[in-house]
Amino acid sequence: MSTAASEKTASAAATAPRRARSARAAGWARRGPLMPALVFTIVVTQLPFLATIVYSLRSWNLLRPDSQAWVGLANYAAVFTDAQFLGAALNTILITASCVIVAMLLGIGLALLLDRHFLGRGVVRTLIITPFLILPVATALLWKHIMLEPVFGLLNFVLSPFGVGDFEWVSQAPVVSVLIALVWQWTPFMMLLVLAGLQSQNGDVLEAGQVDGASRWQMFVWITLPHLRRYIELGVLLGSIYVVNTFDTIYILTQGGPGTASANLPFYIYQRTFLGFDIGQSAAMGVVVVIGTIIVATLALRLIFRTFMNVREGNS
Amino acid sequence: MATAAALVSGCAGAGAVTSGDDTTGLVIAIVSNPQMQDAISLSTQFREEHPDIELNFVSLPENEARAKITTSVATGGGEFDVVMISNYETRQWAEYGWLENLQPHIDDSPGYDHEDFIPSIREDVSYEGDMYSVPFYGESSFLAYREDLFAEAGVEMPEQPTWEEVAALAEELDGFEPGVSGICLRGLAGWGEVLAPFNAILNTFGGRWYDEDWNAEIDSPEFQAAAEFYVDLVQDHGQPGAAGSGFGDCLNRYAQGRAAMFFDATAMVSTIEDEQSGTVTGLNGYAPAPVVDTEYGGWLYTWSLGIPATSEHKDEAWTFLEWMTDKNYVETVAEEYGWQRVPPGNRLSTFDVPEYQEVAGAYAEPMLRAIEQADTTDPGTRPVPYEGIQFLAIPEFQDLGTRVSQQLSAAIAGQITVEEALAQSQQYAEVVGETYAEEGAE
């Protein structure tokens, strides 16, 4: 077939499909080794998700073996009318947004300070990075028993001159307690990113600004901050992705309580599955959360990329 | 190496754990209370006697252990050969066929005197006359108090205190010494946490979760009165940070001398009377569980060991169960750690040992009486459609209890009012009650 074709057509025309074929072969040669990984990823992520969808259409309380039945979308209806689920969703947004914003502001501040030269800078930088390297579980235990404990806690000891010596952080202000621990953990991450941004800044521009007689504040707002923008956006994006999934801190520090005051979505779903043993409803919640996350992430990514482009155009 | 292999396959959900030769590996899921920790330490003796059986313990705190064990057994996961459960699970799971019937094993084991278990406890882990789990320790509840503080303050504990009297005493003793709260009561959410003492109090206040037709009664005046009382007592004279403290936390506080009274499980004695773990050894008096409208106010609970139906090593598992719940085990603990550390409240014979009577003089008698008096079928003043004192023996209670306990815990933290907590809880309870009312009508 191919020999007949090459005889009939001109040689130039014959090379085109051959080139295409060899390109395709090269493509496969490149992709081939990746196939096992792709298949593996699909198996371990998509099959469980399909199973979750199936479970979400069934009524199944693990502790009542006779309770299995198809219920259609009833589980989803229950999820959307569950006040605690909505509360947990709100908490998730609140905790993620506040943690990322506060950690970023502190991170910028620390990065600006660490960008200067001073004696022992390396030691200070290592110390500041440490919280991010500690296991989240250890972080939560540390805050629960050493910092926030009402009687022996260091925080109350420090604040006692101001008359808040016996405040019960974890039960009176659960969300704030969780936030404090999270911000403590995430500030170093933000600081590292911003610091990288600061150190990649071109000295010429700053010098030019100084020659033009700009004040420090003006230089920061009009030169440094626009330069840092993409680093900040990256930090916010990565931070949000991780903080949304926070589980350890809430599990250990507050157990989602008191009541369900500090439960976020991952914790609430865990509770519905492993304390309530309601497989159908927790599967439905999982599906709703995945869909919600995809929508929010898509919007956020688009927004961030748009600002990225604007900054680039503005800069150039 | 064998342990590592066992852990790996345990995680993978494979039940059969064999490491070459003829050695059988058992995976044992256990709650990490002090008495169970002792059992893990002492299991070296078991290994010496049975070199062909390898023991791999998975030891977790109560809430975590329960979640893991329940999930595994309910889904037929089969990674455990021995599970530690309570009288709450035993009967339900026996009914579902999730547990091995232990009666044939018991009958085949000549020296194993199962008649020696305290009758109320034995019945509570039996289904249709057969035992489906064997008690490791049993507990009711009573009120421990610091005799030295009471003497200093010039107050006295009545022989059978009422809750009003206890509240008055708590007020008197709160802050009598700096850093010492009047009473320690659990406030942590969880049906096995705050609801245990609260339900005992609820019963004696005359409250109940459901009437005989499964109509939820959480919004009833009796329930309300009990909840108000509990929340007020903990808030006014309880430990700081009460909404986050469960049994373990209260146990530590009391053992460290930071509470004047402690109403909780009788199993507390193994810790607070042990010089190595507390500073109040020998200073404690014990009063029966306080009451209001009933004659006694204790509960009945037991941590017991069962074999999931999915286990592939049932005979070896029984060999281990026999070792851990036998009379000899009690003596082993006594030899190694002293009589105050023996698992309390499961075997009648323990109470007859003179050495035990000596160290346990203050509490052995109230403990045995509390356990024997507990009546799981008629816990309060009015008839109820469910069994259980500090829990409702229905499958939904793990969920319902957890949700209600969250509300109660939030009220203790002052986040919501008691009325709000109960109104929300009533809604949860109604949903569950409806399914039973329907079943009853069918």
pLDDT in tens, B15-42: 444 445 678 899 999 998 888 999 999 9
> B406: which chain A residues are within 8 Å (Cβ-Cβ)?
256-260
Interval B87-134: pLDDT, tens: 999 999 999 999 999 999 999 998 898 999 999 899 999 999 999 999
Let me know if A269 is exposed, middle or buried by CB neighbors in 10 A (0-12, 13-18, 19+). Answer: buried
CB contact under 8 A, B412 and A258: yes
Q: What is the mean pLDDT of residues A151-155?
A: 85
For A62, the closest chain B residue by CA position comes to B74
Q: Do residue A257 and residue B243 have CB atoms under 8 angstroms apart?
A: yes
Contacts of B92 in chain A (CB under 8 A): 63
To the nearest whole angstrom, how far is the Cα of B30 from the nearest Cα of chain A? 17
The closest CB to that of B70, out of A149, A256, A277, belongs to A277
Nearest residue of A to residue B179 by CA position? Answer: A151
Record: contact A274-B67, CB cut-off 8 A: yes
By Cβ distance, the residue of B74, B190, B421 closest to A62 is: B74
Phi, psi angles (nearest 5°) of residue A28: -70, -35
Distance of CA B64 to the CA centre of its chain: 14
DSSP state of A146: I
Q: Do A170 and B241 count as a contact with CB atoms less than 8 A apart?
A: yes
In percent, how much of chain A has pLDDT > 70? Answer: 91
Q: Give the start-end residues of each E strand in B97-160.
A: 126-127, 130-131, 134-139, 141-146
Kindly state the average pLDDT of the residues B323-338. Answer: 92
Give the distance from residue B89's alpha carbon to the nearest chain A alpha carbon, in angstroms.
Answer: 10
Q: Which of helix, strand or coil describes residue A186?
A: helix
Decide if pLDDT at A309 tops 80: no
Alpha-carbon distance A237 to B215, whole Å?
Answer: 50
Question: Which residues in chain A touch residue B242, judged by CB atoms under 8 angstroms apart?
Answer: 171
**What residue of A is the nearest CA neighbor of B407?**
A259
Report chain B residues whose CB lies below 8 A from the CB of A140: none
**Contact between chains at A277 and B71 (C-beta distance less than 8 A):** yes
Cβ pair A258:B243 closer than 8 A: yes
pLDDT-derived band at A179, boundaries 50, 70, 90: very high
- Exposed, middle or buried: residue B348 (CB in 10 Å: 0-12, 13-18, 19+)? middle
User: Given phi > 0 = left and psi -120 to 50 = alpha, else beta, which region is A277?
Assistant: left
Q: From A65, which residue of chain B is nearest by alpha-carbon distance?
A: B96
Would you call B340 helix, strand, or coil by DSSP?
helix
Beta-carbon separation of B410 and A258 below 8 A: yes
Residue with tokens 């999982």: A286
pLDDT tens-digit profile of A259-297? Answer: 788 899 999 999 888 888 888 999 999 999 999 888 888
Residue of B nearest to A252 (CA): B244
Residues 6+ apart with CB under 8 A from A180: A143, A147, A148, A169
pLDDT digits (tens, 9 = 90+) for B239-276: 988 888 888 889 999 999 999 999 999 888 888 888 88
Round to whole Å and give the CA distance between B372 and B140: 9
**For chain B, the helix, strand and coil percentages under 3-state DSSP, each to the nearest 5:** 50, 15, 35
Per-residue b/e over B378-405, b at no fewer than 16 CB within 10 Å? Answer: ebbbeebbbbbbbbbbbbbbbbbbbbbb
DSSP assigned state of B303: E
Residue of B nearest to A259 (CA): B406
Q: Which element (helix H / strand E) includes B288?
A: strand B284-288
Contacts of B332 (CB under 8 A, 6+ apart): B42, B45
Give B87→chain A minimum CA distance, Å.
15
Residue of B nearest to A173 (CA): B415
The C-alpha of A161 sits at a distance from chain B's nearest C-alpha, in angstroms, of: 19
Tell me the H-state helices in B275-389.
314-325, 327-337, 348-352, 354-359, 364-373
Task: Identify whether the C-beta of residue B340 lies closer than 8 Å to the C-beta of residue B273.
Answer: yes
Chain A hits for B401, CB-CB cut-off 8 Å, are none
CA B93 to chain centre: 18
Closest CA of chain B from A85, distance in Å: 13
B244 CB neighbours in chain A (<8 A) are 170-171, 254-255, 257-258
Distance of CA B58 to the CA centre of its chain: 19
| CB pair distance less than 8 Å for A259 and B244 | no
Q: Which residues of B13-29 are buried (b: 16+ CB within 10 A; e: fewer)?
A: eebebbeeeeebbbbbb
Q: What average pLDDT is seen over chain B?
A: 89
ipTM over 0.85: no
Cα–Cα distance for residue pair B163/A262, rounded to 1 Å: 32
| CB pair distance less than 8 Å for A260 and B71 | no
DSSP H/E element including A136? helix A136-142
Q: Which two tokens stand for residue B418?
A: 């008691």
Q: Using CA atoms, how far apart are residues B332 and B348, in angstroms rounded to an integer?
A: 17
pLDDT of residue B8: 39
- Tell me: the pLDDT tens digits for B47-92? 999 999 999 999 998 878 988 999 999 988 889 999 999 999 999 9
Q: Which of A63, A174, A254 sits opposite B395 (nearest CB)?
A: A63
* pLDDT given for residue B20 in this prediction: 52
What CA–CA distance (Å, rounded) separates B286 from B288? 7
Cβ–Cβ below 8 Å for A260 and B410: yes
pLDDT of B5 > 60? The answer is no
Distance from CA of B408 to the nearest CA of A (A): 7
